[in-house]
Amino acid sequence: MSRPPLPPFTRETAAQKARMAEDAWNSCDPERVALAYTEDSRWRNRSEFFQGRAAIVAFLTRKWEKEKDYRLIKDLWAFDGNHIAVRFQYEWHDAAGQWHRSYGNEQWEFDEHGLMRRREASINDIEIAEKDRRFHWPAPGPRPANVPGLGESPF
């Protein structure tokens, strides 16, 4: 299975890969998202460590059961060869209706077929008031083209 664009990445293809990941995650579909990773992909997400597509699907299922109305923006931070680093922000609310904004960085490593074989994510959360939300497009779904990325906005 091949998942273009393939490494080695250029600025354009690395940014394309980051946007493809953002769009997939905004679908909130664990099975769809997991297809971008190798069968034995290794993850660190906050303080969780796990490996393999089945574990990714289980993790994402739990995540989106908790994180309601999830909306994410990822921006390319750096790239080299088969590695990409992104920064991201996402907003969500819990079952009680409390909104949160999560900030983080990810480091990605890809195989020769363009599948991610390693993902490491560091994430911090803050509670926000609903009036302070920044991401308002319909969820689930991709960020509309007229909504700026993190590098194109004042926040």
pLDDT tens profile 7-51: 999 999 999 999 999 999 999 999 999 999 999 999 999 999 999
Closest CA to 102 of 77, 146, 144, 69: 69
Domains and CATH numbers, the chain: 11-152 (3.10.450.50)
pLDDT at 151: 80
What residue ranges of the chain have pLDDT lower than 70?
152-155
CB neighbours of 49 closer than 8 A, spacing ≥ 6? 42, 43
CA–CA distance, 128 with 38 (Å, rounded to integer): 35
